[in-house]
Amino acid sequence: MLETLTVIKRWVDRLLAGGCALLLIFMTLLVLYQVFTRYVLNDPASFTEELVRYSLIWTGFIGAAYAFSTRQHMALLLFRDKLPEGPRKLLITASDVLILLLAIFVITIGGASLAASASHEFSALLGIPRSLVYAIDPIAGVFIILVQLINIYEDVTGVKVETGTRMAGAKDSTAEGAIDK
């Protein structure tokens, strides 16, 4: 099980980080092209602004999924860090479960509903259905669900999935106490 989760997490992290990197490169090139056409050619390309805006939305959602995967999302740690180990672990697990529920119901189900409802709306300049822009909601939601399930597994077992090593303060969950190999 641990090896499977490790492989899944590695591939998800690579896919999300690579997607963000490609989108950032794409947006940079579009902005450079916009500046060139505006100030050198005196004929600005109008499509770039809308395309950069949509790419930024996609980057934000993919980046959020990556942040949850690497546990680098914004969090208020002052209260959590003052708690003893037991209540701290319970708070972290409860937080991860709430994020999982948010990802299921708001981002994935709500995002799919939003994308479906926007299929008859078209962007002003590009003429593409807005559902293509909103399609990132359920896609990112599925990734967040996947990584949150792995995060909850880490919280409960005390085993860090990425490296397969035990997390600090974790107790054995097997009879033999042989989790790591």
What is the tens place of the pLDDT at every residue in 141-173?
999 999 999 999 999 988 888 754 455 555 544
User: Number of structural domains, the chain?
Assistant: 1
* Separation between Cα atoms, residue 151 and residue 96, nearest integer Å: 7
Q: Which domain holds residue 45?
A: 2-157
pLDDT at 176: 38
What pLDDT, on the 0 to 100 scale, is given for residue 163? 53
pTM: 0.83
Position 39: which residue type? Y
User: Who contacts 111 (Cβ-Cβ below 8 Å, separation ≥6)?
Assistant: 134, 136, 137, 138, 140, 141
Q: Is the pLDDT higher at 180 or at 73?
A: 73
Which residues on adjacent β-strands are paired with residue 122?
129
In a domain, 19, yes or no: yes
Q: Which residue has the higher pLDDT, 42 or 1?
A: 42
Query: Do the domain assignments include residue 178?
Result: no
Residue 111 above 70 pLDDT?
yes
The answer to whether residue 51 is domain-embedded is yes
